[in-house]
Amino acid sequence: MSATDATRTFAGGRYTVERLLGRGGMATVYLAHDRELDRTVAVKVLDERFAADEEVAGRFRREALTAARLGHPNVVAVYDTGVDEGAEYIVMEHVDGEGLDAVLARETTLAPEHVVELAVQACAGLGYAHGQGVVHRDVKPANLLLRPDGLLKVTDFGIARSLDRATTLTQAGTILGTAAYLAPEQARGEEAGPPADVFSLGVVCYQALTGELPWPVESLGQLAAVAETPARPVRDAAPTTPPEVESAVMRALAREPDYRPQDAAAFGAELDGTPTVRVPSSQAETVVLPAPRRRRAARRRIPGIAAAVLAVAILLAALVIGLASRGGGSNAPAQVDQVKSSSDPAGQARNLEAWIHDHTAGG
């Protein structure tokens, strides 16, 4: 980091740069201190090369506005945004950890249960975004940040799109995002809905499980292979992967969006093995609920039946005792005495049954 960067501030000195965190194709990210709230933050600054490019600058501003709407534990929070000496910047939550890309570069593959754990967290964050009408459109390992305590946070909504926008951000054949993780419909420049994020996260899961990409895409020109060639089954490359996890990941990689889980919440449920049903609300949104558990209902009925049987037994016993206490009938006392005098439990049961039969049938 240059000496100039080390002494750089934003928002009139409120944010003081401490060190460089990383550089990307369009922006630089610094670790900084928020003097007003006395906390550590990350400041993302648009590269000065793009300051005059209204399309890029507009996309940068949309990132701030989009991410600021998303308050979820698995989404990096956006605190502030502004322009300082012509430089567009976004102030974000600082995640003390590393990107999943760094983890995979070091480990190559992860245990299936760890992959599921991380993917379910990513699905929680993305599913929340989908519920807010936001599609990320650039899901890849570098945009999944891992804290030391295991919490995953989705970051970089720089090319995110609101679902209520009719236009795409792809123009003149330019594809936004990283080629290897793009859904086929994105590569074709078509509208990208929540299933596009599911596809991209499916590629991330496949890579984490197998150590390789489902398709060897190194350039946009190779994206046609994604639409023409089926991916190698996960368990061919990673035999220890549970079949249900393989099934969920391979469904996420379906070439047609309609054949994938329709949003991240549904994908997370499949990975986690949680049965779900989808219930449309009055606002035409989709709500994921646990599937009905019929066994529980059956167990609740059993105590009611038992109580009814017990009540009948008590009533019959009261009837026998009541008739015996009258002492008026020639048959009743004799048979009741027979029940009392019998030392055989089975015999007692037979005598009581016979007596009840005789005296409830008008005998």
Helix (H, G, I), strand (E, B) or coil at 338: helix
Looking from the CA of 90 toward its CB, the CA atoms found within 13 Å total 29
Q: Which fold has domain 98-292?
A: Transferase(Phosphotransferase); domain 1 (1.10.510)
The residue among 160 and 327 whose pLDDT is bigger is 160
Compute the distance between CA of residue 192 and CA of residue 195 in angstroms, rounded to an integer: 7
266-286 mean pLDDT: 62
Compute the distance between CA of residue 315 and CA of residue 187 in angstroms, rounded to an integer: 77
pLDDT band at 217 (very low <50, low <70, confident <90, very high): confident
pLDDT of residue 295 exceeding 50, the answer is no
pLDDT of residue 169 exceeding 50, the answer is no
Packed helices 345-360 and 294-326: angle between N→C axes, nearest 10 degrees: 80
Range from 81-95, 118-132, 182-196, 315-329 carrying the lowest mean pLDDT: 315-329
Cα–Cα–Cα angle for 142, 147, 149, nearest 5°?
A: 150
Compute the distance between CA of residue 359 and CA of residue 114 in angstroms, rounded to an integer: 71
Where are the domains positioned within the chain? 3-93, 98-292, 295-360
Q: Name the DSSP class of 59.
A: H
pLDDT at site 354? 56
301-320 mean pLDDT: 48
Share the mean pLDDT of the chain.
Answer: 77
pLDDT at site 66? 81
Active site residues: 138
246-262 mean pLDDT: 96
Q: Which fold has domain 3-93?
A: Phosphorylase Kinase; domain 1 (3.30.200)
Q: In 3D, which of 141, 103, 98 has the Cα closest to residue 119?
A: 141
Instruction: For residue 4, give the amino acid letter.
Output: T
Range from 27-36, 43-52, 344-353 carrying the lowest mean pLDDT: 344-353
Percent helix, percent strand, percent coil in the chain, to nearest 5: 45, 20, 35
Compute the distance between CA of residue 338 and CA of residue 1 in angstroms, rounded to an integer: 104
65-93 mean pLDDT: 91
Contacts of 194 (CB under 8 A, 6+ apart): 126, 130, 135, 262, 263, 264
pLDDT band at 27 (very low <50, low <70, confident <90, very high): confident
Looking from the CA of 140 toward its CB, the CA atoms found within 13 Å total 18
